[in-house]
Amino acid sequence: MDPILLAVYILVFPGFVFLLGYAFLFEFLDRKIYARMQNRVGPPLVQPFADFVKMLGKEVIDPKGVDRRAFDVAPILALAAVMTAFLYVPVVASSPLAFQGDLVVVLYLMTIPTIVLFLLGWLSRNVYATIGGVRAVTQMFIYEVPFYLAMLAPALMAGAAGGWSVSGIVAWQQHNLWFAVYQPIGLVVAIIGLQAKLERTPFDIPEAETEIVAGPTTELTGRRLALMKLTTDVSLVVGSALVAALFLGGPLLPWTFSPNWLGWTVGFVVFLAKTLAVLLVLSSIKAATGRIRIDQLNDIGWKYLASAAVLQVFLALLMNYYLVGANA
């Protein structure tokens, strides 16, 4: 790929500039859907961006005895990780940065914000933040196993054709059925796991404002808080896009468009439609449920989600042997 076009892809579209704008739109739609389901009006369109700008202008306060450099770097690290992960998710066509195994890299990068939250809570010397940080990492050990199994099951079924690449798995679905048809159990586990990864209701245990103020972010102010909130919005986009890519075919349809402006335009519209559909499901779960306790999450995660994820992997291996192998 031409270096200039590659730079545009990474920095502008469908890279960082588009991602930030889409993240603000996602937050608006999430808050709007949540409000309408509760018979409220909800925020105006520019409210998420206005909140971000306002927080950027607020004073940065350093808690006594904390490592100021660590507090400055941690939010930037979390945001950079999820923004990098987005570059490997197809938006209009296969990512030019794709390589075999990039799915594993994307899942790893999406884990970094949770680790950052734990470190921020642990280093803040605030009891509420420390409890929130411990809850965040405890919750991570519960949902990560079923979430990873569900997200890797499409790669197992796609086999060598997919190459454990997000773009490869999307291309495989263009000539077959969506993995949502082959692996409905995996899709359900992936959505629930994504809800837990994003710490959204009913899995907002680390941030339980009625119990521990704001959890790991209690001592964050100014630009630090702004960047962590932005990281959450970006993670929502990346997670929705990844689910849409692995289970709903990403930006591709079951038929092929020539690689020109028409194909890219249709692919982009399809990408928007599928990611918004995932957001609608996540927002509906948020509006319809209440926060659960960490012990309840432990039961749900290990008894039900993990068992369902293992079952889906087993079924994926069977289908790969009998269906995909038979057609090879």
Among residues 236, 273, 234, the alpha carbon closest in space to that of 252 is found at 273
Of 92-96, 203-207, 322-326, minimum mean pLDDT range: 322-326
Helix ranges (H only) for the chain are: 3-11, 16-37, 47-56, 68-86, 102-123, 127-158, 166-174, 179-182, 184-197, 209-212, 222-248, 261-288, 294-299, 306-319, 325-327
Q: Which pLDDT does position 259 carry in this prediction?
A: 56
Q: What is the mean pLDDT of residues 235-247?
A: 95
pLDDT at 328 over 50: no
Q: Which pLDDT does position 257 carry in this prediction?
A: 55
Query: Of all residues in the chain, what percent carry a pLDDT higher than 90?
Result: 55
The distance between the two most distant Cα atoms of the chain, rounded to a whole number of Å, is 65
For residue 107, tell me if it sits in a domain. yes
Q: What is the DSSP string of 258-315?
A: PTTHHHHHHHHHHHHHHHHHHHHHHHHHHHH-----HHHHHHIIIIIIHHHHHHHHHH
Q: What is the mean pLDDT of residues 230-254?
A: 92
For residue 82, tell me if it sits in a domain. yes
Whole domain around residue 319: which residue ranges? 55-327
Handedness of CA 182, 183, 185, 187 (dihedral sign): negative
Sequence-distant (6+) residues with CB within 8 A of 277 are: 244, 248
Instruction: Please answer whether residues 98 and 86 qualify as being in contact, where contact means their C-beta atoms are separated by less than 8 angstroms.
Output: no
Handedness of CA 35, 50, 15, 146 (dihedral sign): negative
Instruction: Please answer whether residues 206 and 133 qualify as being in contact, where contact means their C-beta atoms are separated by less than 8 angstroms.
Output: yes
Sequence-distant (6+) residues with CB within 8 A of 90 are: 166, 167, 170, 245, 250, 251, 252, 267, 271
Q: Which pLDDT does position 227 carry in this prediction?
A: 94
For residue 258, tell me if it sits in a domain. yes
Instruction: Please answer whether residues 184 and 190 qualify as being in contact, where contact means their C-beta atoms are separated by less than 8 angstroms.
Output: no
Instruction: Please answer whether residues 23 and 233 qualify as being in contact, where contact means their C-beta atoms are separated by less than 8 angstroms.
Output: yes
Q: Which two tokens stand for residue 208?
A: 């339980």
pLDDT at 327 over 80: no
For residue 50, tell me if it sits in a domain. no
Residue carrying the six token digits 């009913």: 202
What's the pLDDT band for 229 if we cut at 50, 70, 90?
A: very high
Q: Which pLDDT does position 94 carry in this prediction?
A: 87
For residue 249, tell me if it sits in a domain. yes
Distance between CA 172 and CA 178 in Å, rounded? 9
Handedness of CA 161, 183, 311, 277 (dihedral sign): positive
pLDDT at 254 over 80: no
Query: Of all residues in the chain, what percent carry a pLDDT higher than 70?
Result: 95
From residue 61, how far is each of 51, 71, 303 by CA, in Å?
18, 10, 43
pLDDT at 169 over 90: yes
From residue 9, how far is each of 16, 47, 93, 199, 233 by CA, in Å?
9, 28, 12, 30, 21
Distance between CA 277 and CA 254 in Å, rounded? 18
C-beta pairs of 137-142 under 8 Å, 24+ apart in sequence? 138/294, 139/196, 139/199, 139/203, 139/205, 139/206, 139/294, 139/297, 140/111, 140/114, 140/115, 140/197, 142/196, 142/297, 142/298, 142/301, 142/302
For residue 4, tell me if it sits in a domain. no
For residue 43, tell me if it sits in a domain. no
Total of domains in the chain: 1
For residue 17, tell me if it sits in a domain. no
List, for residues 96-152, the tens digit of each pLDDT value. Answer: 898 998 999 999 999 999 999 999 988 888 899 999 989 999 999 899 999 999 999
Of 1-5, 219-223, 274-278, minimum mean pLDDT range: 1-5
